[in-house]
Copies of this chain bind each other. A is one copy, B any other.
Amino acid sequence: MQILDGKLIREKNTPLLIEKIKSLSFVPCLAIIQVGNRPDSTSYIKAKKSFAKKIGINEIHIQLDESVSQDEVINIIKKYNEDNSVQGIIVQLPLPIGLSSEIIINSIDSRKDVDGLTPLNIKRLVDGNENAIISATARGINQLLKFYNIDLFAKKVTVVGRSTLVGKPIALMCLNENATVTVCHSKTNNLEEETKKADVLIVAIGKPNFIGKNHVKSGQIVIDVGISRQTDNTLTGDVNFEEVKDIVEMITPVPGGVGQMTVLALFENLVDLCYSIRN
Protein backbone atom coordinates (compact mmCIF):
# COMPACT_ATOMS: atom_id res chain seq x y z
CA MET A 1 0.00 0.00 0.00
CA GLN A 2 1.24 3.47 -0.90
CA ILE A 3 0.41 6.59 1.07
CA LEU A 4 -0.68 9.54 -1.09
CA ASP A 5 1.17 12.20 0.83
CA GLY A 6 -0.58 15.58 0.69
CA LYS A 7 1.92 17.10 3.09
CA LEU A 8 4.82 16.16 0.83
CA ILE A 9 3.14 17.64 -2.27
CA ARG A 10 2.29 20.81 -0.42
CA GLU A 11 5.90 21.13 0.70
CA LYS A 12 7.10 20.60 -2.85
CA ASN A 13 4.61 22.99 -4.41
CA THR A 14 4.77 25.80 -1.85
CA PRO A 15 8.09 27.23 -3.10
CA LEU A 16 6.67 27.37 -6.65
CA LEU A 17 3.63 29.23 -5.37
CA ILE A 18 5.87 31.65 -3.43
CA GLU A 19 7.82 32.33 -6.62
CA LYS A 20 4.60 33.14 -8.48
CA ILE A 21 3.54 35.48 -5.69
CA LYS A 22 6.91 37.23 -5.70
CA SER A 23 6.63 37.78 -9.45
CA LEU A 24 3.46 39.78 -8.99
CA SER A 25 3.81 43.56 -8.87
CA PHE A 26 1.75 43.69 -5.68
CA VAL A 27 1.17 41.68 -2.51
CA PRO A 28 -2.10 39.74 -2.85
CA CYS A 29 -4.68 40.10 -0.12
CA LEU A 30 -7.39 37.66 0.93
CA ALA A 31 -10.45 38.84 2.89
CA ILE A 32 -11.96 36.14 5.10
CA ILE A 33 -15.43 36.87 6.45
CA GLN A 34 -16.55 34.84 9.45
CA VAL A 35 -19.96 35.14 11.06
CA GLY A 36 -20.15 33.76 14.60
CA ASN A 37 -17.41 31.73 16.22
CA ARG A 38 -17.83 28.04 15.42
CA PRO A 39 -14.65 26.34 16.64
CA ASP A 40 -14.24 24.30 13.41
CA SER A 41 -14.51 27.48 11.31
CA THR A 42 -12.05 29.28 13.55
CA SER A 43 -9.64 26.38 13.21
CA TYR A 44 -9.92 26.31 9.38
CA ILE A 45 -9.42 30.07 9.22
CA LYS A 46 -6.37 29.79 11.49
CA ALA A 47 -4.85 27.28 9.05
CA LYS A 48 -5.53 29.62 6.10
CA LYS A 49 -4.05 32.63 7.90
CA SER A 50 -0.97 30.71 8.90
CA PHE A 51 -0.38 29.50 5.34
CA ALA A 52 -1.02 32.99 3.95
CA LYS A 53 1.67 34.37 6.24
CA LYS A 54 4.10 31.63 5.22
CA ILE A 55 3.76 32.37 1.50
CA GLY A 56 3.69 36.15 1.75
CA ILE A 57 0.02 36.93 1.27
CA ASN A 58 -1.86 39.53 3.27
CA GLU A 59 -5.14 38.61 4.87
CA ILE A 60 -7.96 40.48 6.49
CA HIS A 61 -10.09 38.46 8.91
CA ILE A 62 -13.46 40.08 9.46
CA GLN A 63 -15.21 38.44 12.39
CA LEU A 64 -18.87 39.36 12.69
CA ASP A 65 -21.30 38.70 15.49
CA GLU A 66 -23.92 36.03 14.88
CA SER A 67 -26.58 38.73 15.16
CA VAL A 68 -25.32 40.53 12.05
CA SER A 69 -27.94 41.11 9.35
CA GLN A 70 -27.70 39.65 5.86
CA ASP A 71 -27.54 43.14 4.37
CA GLU A 72 -24.61 44.06 6.59
CA VAL A 73 -22.68 40.98 5.43
CA ILE A 74 -23.51 41.78 1.80
CA ASN A 75 -22.40 45.39 2.24
CA ILE A 76 -19.05 44.21 3.58
CA ILE A 77 -18.66 41.87 0.60
CA LYS A 78 -19.53 44.69 -1.78
CA LYS A 79 -16.88 46.88 -0.16
CA TYR A 80 -14.24 44.21 -0.84
CA ASN A 81 -15.61 43.59 -4.33
CA GLU A 82 -14.72 47.20 -5.11
CA ASP A 83 -11.46 47.34 -3.14
CA ASN A 84 -8.60 46.90 -5.62
CA SER A 85 -6.19 45.97 -2.84
CA VAL A 86 -8.20 42.77 -2.16
CA GLN A 87 -8.02 40.01 -4.79
CA GLY A 88 -9.91 37.24 -3.01
CA ILE A 89 -12.97 36.98 -0.76
CA ILE A 90 -13.99 33.99 1.32
CA VAL A 91 -17.18 33.70 3.34
CA GLN A 92 -16.49 30.90 5.81
CA LEU A 93 -19.32 28.36 5.70
CA PRO A 94 -21.59 27.25 7.23
CA LEU A 95 -23.33 30.50 8.08
CA PRO A 96 -25.65 30.81 11.08
CA ILE A 97 -29.30 29.92 10.49
CA GLY A 98 -31.22 32.95 9.26
CA LEU A 99 -28.57 34.05 6.81
CA SER A 100 -28.97 32.85 3.21
CA SER A 101 -25.64 31.44 2.07
CA GLU A 102 -26.99 31.49 -1.51
CA ILE A 103 -27.65 35.23 -1.48
CA ILE A 104 -24.48 36.05 0.45
CA ILE A 105 -22.13 33.89 -1.66
CA ASN A 106 -23.72 35.13 -4.89
CA SER A 107 -22.89 38.71 -3.92
CA ILE A 108 -19.16 37.93 -4.19
CA ASP A 109 -17.64 39.19 -7.45
CA SER A 110 -16.83 35.99 -9.35
CA ARG A 111 -13.40 37.49 -10.15
CA LYS A 112 -12.60 37.38 -6.41
CA ASP A 113 -14.32 34.05 -5.70
CA VAL A 114 -11.40 31.92 -4.47
CA ASP A 115 -13.79 29.21 -3.23
CA GLY A 116 -15.34 28.77 -6.69
CA LEU A 117 -18.89 28.98 -5.32
CA THR A 118 -20.43 31.86 -7.27
CA PRO A 119 -22.86 30.99 -10.08
CA LEU A 120 -20.42 31.88 -12.86
CA ASN A 121 -17.70 29.59 -11.50
CA ILE A 122 -20.16 26.75 -10.85
CA LYS A 123 -21.47 27.08 -14.41
CA ARG A 124 -17.93 27.07 -15.78
CA LEU A 125 -17.19 23.94 -13.76
CA VAL A 126 -20.31 22.29 -15.20
CA ASP A 127 -19.22 23.43 -18.68
CA GLY A 128 -15.69 22.11 -18.17
CA ASN A 129 -14.46 25.64 -18.95
CA GLU A 130 -10.79 25.95 -18.05
CA ASN A 131 -11.32 29.51 -16.76
CA ALA A 132 -13.41 28.13 -13.89
CA ILE A 133 -12.15 28.75 -10.40
CA ILE A 134 -13.08 25.42 -8.85
CA SER A 135 -13.56 24.40 -5.24
CA ALA A 136 -10.19 24.07 -3.50
CA THR A 137 -10.97 20.52 -2.40
CA ALA A 138 -11.62 19.40 -5.99
CA ARG A 139 -8.54 21.22 -7.27
CA GLY A 140 -6.43 19.79 -4.45
CA ILE A 141 -7.54 16.22 -5.20
CA ASN A 142 -6.84 16.72 -8.89
CA GLN A 143 -3.31 17.92 -8.10
CA LEU A 144 -2.67 15.09 -5.69
CA LEU A 145 -3.68 12.52 -8.32
CA LYS A 146 -1.57 14.21 -10.98
CA PHE A 147 1.46 14.29 -8.67
CA TYR A 148 1.27 10.49 -8.42
CA ASN A 149 0.63 10.15 -12.18
CA ILE A 150 -2.85 8.81 -11.60
CA ASP A 151 -4.75 9.71 -14.77
CA LEU A 152 -8.53 9.72 -14.36
CA PHE A 153 -9.09 9.30 -18.12
CA ALA A 154 -11.64 6.47 -18.61
CA LYS A 155 -11.20 5.42 -14.97
CA LYS A 156 -14.22 4.43 -12.92
CA VAL A 157 -14.54 6.98 -10.12
CA THR A 158 -17.08 6.70 -7.34
CA VAL A 159 -17.72 9.77 -5.23
CA VAL A 160 -19.53 9.18 -1.94
CA GLY A 161 -21.17 12.43 -0.91
CA ARG A 162 -23.08 14.99 -2.95
CA SER A 163 -22.74 18.32 -1.13
CA THR A 164 -22.56 21.49 -3.22
CA LEU A 165 -19.36 22.44 -1.44
CA VAL A 166 -17.45 19.21 -1.85
CA GLY A 167 -19.05 16.10 -3.41
CA LYS A 168 -20.59 17.67 -6.51
CA PRO A 169 -17.57 19.81 -7.49
CA ILE A 170 -15.34 16.74 -7.10
CA ALA A 171 -17.69 14.66 -9.29
CA LEU A 172 -17.80 17.38 -11.95
CA MET A 173 -14.00 17.78 -11.88
CA CYS A 174 -13.58 14.01 -12.38
CA LEU A 175 -16.07 14.10 -15.26
CA ASN A 176 -14.08 16.93 -16.83
CA GLU A 177 -11.01 14.68 -16.49
CA ASN A 178 -12.87 12.08 -18.58
CA ALA A 179 -13.60 9.61 -15.79
CA THR A 180 -16.82 7.60 -15.70
CA VAL A 181 -18.32 9.01 -12.52
CA THR A 182 -20.83 7.57 -10.07
CA VAL A 183 -22.20 9.68 -7.23
CA CYS A 184 -23.40 7.79 -4.14
CA HIS A 185 -25.00 9.26 -1.01
CA SER A 186 -27.05 8.46 2.06
CA LYS A 187 -29.94 7.12 -0.04
CA THR A 188 -27.80 4.77 -2.14
CA ASN A 189 -28.72 1.10 -2.04
CA ASN A 190 -25.90 -1.45 -1.70
CA LEU A 191 -23.24 1.15 -1.06
CA GLU A 192 -20.62 -1.57 -0.52
CA GLU A 193 -21.30 -2.96 -3.96
CA GLU A 194 -21.02 0.49 -5.55
CA THR A 195 -17.80 1.49 -3.80
CA LYS A 196 -16.12 -1.82 -4.63
CA LYS A 197 -16.60 -1.24 -8.35
CA ALA A 198 -14.49 1.92 -8.37
CA ASP A 199 -10.94 2.27 -9.61
CA VAL A 200 -10.77 5.49 -7.60
CA LEU A 201 -12.99 5.89 -4.54
CA ILE A 202 -13.43 9.43 -3.20
CA VAL A 203 -15.24 9.78 0.12
CA ALA A 204 -16.69 13.08 1.32
CA ILE A 205 -19.52 12.44 3.76
CA GLY A 206 -18.21 13.74 7.09
CA LYS A 207 -18.85 10.47 8.99
CA PRO A 208 -15.71 9.28 10.76
CA ASN A 209 -14.52 5.78 9.82
CA PHE A 210 -17.69 5.12 7.81
CA ILE A 211 -15.95 3.32 4.95
CA GLY A 212 -14.45 0.04 6.13
CA LYS A 213 -13.02 -3.20 4.78
CA ASN A 214 -16.32 -4.30 3.25
CA HIS A 215 -16.43 -1.22 1.01
CA VAL A 216 -13.08 -1.66 -0.71
CA LYS A 217 -11.19 -4.10 -2.88
CA SER A 218 -7.62 -4.80 -3.82
CA GLY A 219 -6.04 -2.41 -6.32
CA GLN A 220 -8.17 0.61 -5.47
CA ILE A 221 -7.07 4.18 -4.94
CA VAL A 222 -8.87 5.75 -1.98
CA ILE A 223 -9.16 9.50 -1.45
CA ASP A 224 -10.48 10.44 1.98
CA VAL A 225 -11.88 13.97 2.12
CA GLY A 226 -13.38 13.72 5.62
CA ILE A 227 -11.78 15.41 8.61
CA SER A 228 -13.55 14.94 11.95
CA ARG A 229 -12.10 15.82 15.32
CA GLN A 230 -12.56 12.98 17.78
CA THR A 231 -13.21 13.35 21.51
CA ASP A 232 -9.53 12.60 22.19
CA ASN A 233 -8.72 15.58 19.90
CA THR A 234 -7.23 13.43 17.10
CA LEU A 235 -8.41 13.90 13.50
CA THR A 236 -10.15 11.06 11.68
CA GLY A 237 -11.24 10.65 8.08
CA ASP A 238 -14.37 9.12 6.60
CA VAL A 239 -12.36 5.97 5.84
CA ASN A 240 -11.27 3.50 8.50
CA PHE A 241 -7.61 3.67 7.58
CA GLU A 242 -6.50 0.72 9.72
CA GLU A 243 -9.18 -1.54 8.23
CA VAL A 244 -8.52 -0.77 4.58
CA LYS A 245 -4.80 -0.03 4.45
CA ASP A 246 -3.77 -3.63 3.77
CA ILE A 247 -6.43 -4.10 1.07
CA VAL A 248 -6.20 -1.03 -1.18
CA GLU A 249 -3.31 0.03 -3.38
CA MET A 250 -3.07 3.72 -2.50
CA ILE A 251 -4.72 5.91 0.12
CA THR A 252 -4.63 9.46 1.47
CA PRO A 253 -4.08 9.64 5.22
CA VAL A 254 -6.00 11.91 7.61
CA PRO A 255 -4.39 14.19 8.61
CA GLY A 256 -1.76 14.76 5.95
CA GLY A 257 -3.79 14.02 2.84
CA VAL A 258 -6.54 16.00 1.11
CA GLY A 259 -6.70 18.68 3.83
CA GLN A 260 -3.12 19.71 3.10
CA MET A 261 -3.90 19.97 -0.61
CA THR A 262 -7.04 22.02 -0.02
CA VAL A 263 -5.27 24.88 1.72
CA LEU A 264 -2.61 24.92 -0.99
CA ALA A 265 -5.24 24.88 -3.76
CA LEU A 266 -7.16 27.72 -2.15
CA PHE A 267 -4.12 29.98 -2.43
CA GLU A 268 -3.38 28.72 -5.93
CA ASN A 269 -6.91 29.84 -6.81
CA LEU A 270 -6.11 33.25 -5.31
CA VAL A 271 -2.87 33.55 -7.26
CA ASP A 272 -4.63 32.53 -10.49
CA LEU A 273 -7.14 35.31 -9.85
CA CYS A 274 -4.27 37.77 -9.27
CA TYR A 275 -2.69 36.81 -12.58
CA SER A 276 -5.98 37.14 -14.43
CA ILE A 277 -6.44 40.70 -13.14
CA ARG A 278 -3.14 42.31 -14.03
CA ASN A 279 0.66 42.01 -13.87
A191: nearest residue on chain B (CB-CB)?
A: B180
Q: Are A126 and B180 in contact (CB under 8 A)?
A: no
Count class of interface residues, chain A: 20 to 34
A154 to B188 Cα, complex, angstroms: 5
Which chain A residues numbered 78 to 133 have a C-beta less than 8 Å away from chain B? Answer: 102, 106, 118-120, 122-124, 126-129
Q: Given the complex, which residues of B lie within 8 Å of A164, measured CB to CB?
A: 126-128
Smallest distance from the beta carbon of A64 to chain B beta carbons, Å?
Answer: 24
Can you tell how many copies of this chain the complex includes? 2
Cα distance, A187 to B187, chains bound together (Å): 28
The residues of B that contact A120 with a CB separation of less than 8 Å are 106, 119
A122 contacts B129, C-beta separation under 8 Å: no
Contacting pair A189 B180 (CB below 8 A): yes
**Given A122-B126, A156-B189, also A180-B180 (CB < 8 A):** no
Query: Which of B119, B153, B154 is close to A119, meaning CB atoms less than 8 Å apart?
Result: B119
- Contact (Cβ within 8 A) B181 A182: yes
User: Does A168 lie within 8 Å of B126, measured CB to CB?
Assistant: yes
Residue of B with least CB distance to A152: B187
List the B side residues contacting A162 at CB < 8 Å. 175
A9 within 8 A of B: no
Residues B122 and A102 in contact, CB atoms below 8 Å apart = no
| A194 touches B (CB below 8 Å) | yes
Closest to A156 in B: B189
Which residues in window 177-235 of A have CB below 8 A to B? 178, 180-185, 187-189, 194
Interface centre among A182, A185, A188 (most CB of B within 10 A): A182
Compute how far the CA of A182 lies from the CA of B174 in the bound complex, rounded to whole angstroms: 12
A218 smallest CB distance to B (angstroms): 19
Would you call A180 and B194 a contact (CB within 8 A)? yes
